[in-house]
């Protein structure tokens, strides 16, 4: 099992920026895909971004495309989510998730991820 720990959340004005981090530990992370999800109050958890083990391939939800950037650290056990031009609708708890295998068409599916972090709160004030 992989342990995930997010950090970097906080309160930021609309138009501002934040950079979230997710540190993974535990078993070998070879081949693990890492993804970010978020959950706003009263809403279902939704996909934000994903990155492959190599860090070469990324994918984003339409709502964040062009504003958010997901990247992977050199040691591969840290994943970042750089968020720019933040909007009030970006307010949510942001979760890091990990999985190995699966098909490309399921990368945005919550149920396909076994390992999750505890989440970090991002609040964007309008």
**Residue 86 in this model has a pLDDT that exceeds 80:** yes
Across residues 32-54, what is the average pLDDT? 95
DSSP label of 113: -
DSSP label of 112: G
- DSSP-derived secondary structure for 13-48: ETT--EEEEEEEEES--TTEEEEEEEE-TTS--EEE
Using a pLDDT cut of 90, give the percent of the chain over it: 80
Across residues 44-67, what is the average pLDDT? 95
- Bridge partner list, 4: 24
The pLDDT of residue 48 = 98
**Residue 102 in this model has a pLDDT that exceeds 90:** no
Q: Which residue has the higher pLDDT, 53 or 46?
A: 46
- Helix (DSSP H) and strand (DSSP E) numbers for the chain: 0, 11
**Residue 28 in this model has a pLDDT that exceeds 80:** no
**Residue 60 in this model has a pLDDT that exceeds 80:** yes
The pLDDT of residue 89 = 97
Sign of CA dihedral 15, 82, 37, 5: negative
Q: Which residue has the tokens 């979230």?
A: 20
- Bridge partner list, 25: 3
**Residue 19 in this model has a pLDDT that exceeds 90:** yes
């Amino acid at each position: 099992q992989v342990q995930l720990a997010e950090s970097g959340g906080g309160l930021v004005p609309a138009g501002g920026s934040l950079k979230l981090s997710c540190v993974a530990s535990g078993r070998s992370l070879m081949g693990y895909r890492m993804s970010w999800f978020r959950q706003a109050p009263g809403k279902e958890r939704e996909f934000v971004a994903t990155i492959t083990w190599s860090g070469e391939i990324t994918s984003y939800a339409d709502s964040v495309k062009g504003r958010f950037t997901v990247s992977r650290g050199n040691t591969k056990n840290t994943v970042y989510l750089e968020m720019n031009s933040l909007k009030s609708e970006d307010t949510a708890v942001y979760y890091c998730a990990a999985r190995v295998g699966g098909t490309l068409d399921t990368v945005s599916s919550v149920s396909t991820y076994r390992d999750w972090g505890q989440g970090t709160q991002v609040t964007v004030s309008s």
